[in-house]
Amino acid sequence: MGIVIAILIFSIIVIFHEFGHFILAKKNGIRVNEFAVGMGPKLFGFKRGETDYVLRALPIGGACVMAGEDEDVTDEGTFNSKSVWARMSVVLAGPFFNFFLAFIFAVIIINFAGITPAEIGAVSENSPAEAAGLEAGDVIKEIDGENIHMFDELRMHMMLDPKAQYEVTYERDGQTYDTIVNTVTGSDGYPMMGVTAYVRKASFTEMFQYGFYEVKFNIELVFKSLAMLFQGKLTADDMAGPVGMAQIVNENYETAMDYGVSSAILTMMNIVVIFSANLGVMNLLPIPALDGGRFLFLIFEAIRGKPINREKEGFVNFVGFALLMVLMVFILFNDISRLF
């Protein structure tokens, strides 16, 4: 069942991403030849108006194929016949629709599950937090100079940067204080302060406020993870492709089902938030064949006042796509190896 849900989650995220491109293309008068979900062989499809709507065999991607997108043509209704600003909006629409999808699901989750602000619910006796003067009700504002809005941000900062002590800025009764909190190593191997979260119902405005914080948190987490990958703190074994992601969905689904259907639903929605934010960020990276790479070419065009040679751009995108396919095969091999 978890695998079926994983395919459904991937499909929702991809459809929303491509729908962003589709909507902005139509709004700017660009013909869309094909709107596809999945990659590989065509399973079935239908045509409505000028567009073929297609479902393909592999649920690992999708496409919004616009007229003249990779061709040196400027006929009416083609991608390159529109202004550079219009084309920028079309290219950016996919990733930003992913952020919007993540935001929608985050708000729904918060409505049912509440919020965990960066407020201390309880301080353990004889803990580092107690020694540092922290009390229940204190609101943590910063850790090591990094702004904190949610308790998850505190936990993630300590997981990504484990060390013996942290500089903490907190608020109590309207006053701001600074302290140094030493840590102990927990059973999971990560540092602990000895504080627990405070969960409460969100007000109407807080649902949207913390929905934004949740999406922002997931976006920043992707960038931090990429930085750690380049720094050698993470390896290829820490990366997950479609198979690995499906395994994550399945494991979380089975665990959540032990607590009931409502828990499983909220858990799956949370995975949509994480995966959709991830896809949005990854597509914005300035890599050829991705939306970020196309956007980079458009920035050069806006600066130069004339487009980059279409053949050269097409070649760069082709090479980028080929390299991405090689990377996907490598990650897929890693995913399958981990299964055994």
Write the CA distances from 92 to 74, 262, 320, integer angstroms. 21, 34, 18
Phi-psi category of residue 232: left, alpha or beta, with phi > 0 → left and psi -120 to 50 → alpha: left
38's tokens: 């999945």
- The H or E element containing residue 103 is helix 84-113
Task: Compute the distance between CA of residue 54 and CA of residue 42 in angstroms, rounded to an integer.
Answer: 7
Radius of gyration of the chain (CA): 23
- The 10 Å Cβ neighbour count of residue 165 is 14
CA nearest neighbour of 66 among 56, 55, 80, 54: 80
Residue type, 79: F
Report how far residue 308's alpha carbon sits from residue 311's, in angstroms, rounded to the nearest whole number. Answer: 9
Q: Which residues contact 7 (CB under 8 A, 6 or more apart)?
A: 59, 246
Task: Tell me whether residue 18 is one of the annotated catalytic residues.
Answer: yes
C-beta separation of 101 from 93 below 8 A: no
The residue to which tokens 């994480």 are assigned: 274
Q: Are strands 120-123 and 184-185 parallel, antiparallel or unpaired?
A: unpaired
d(CA 32, CA 50): 7
Q: What angle do CA 21, 283, 77 make, to 5 degrees?
A: 25
Do the Cβ atoms of 117 and 199 come closer than 8 Å?
no
Active-site entry in 18, 69, 214, 313:
18
Residues ≥6 apart with Cβ < 8 Å to 44: 54, 55
HEC-encoded secondary structure of 145-182: CEECCEHHHHHHHHHHCCCCEEEEEEEECCEEEEEEEE
Residues noted as catalytic: 18
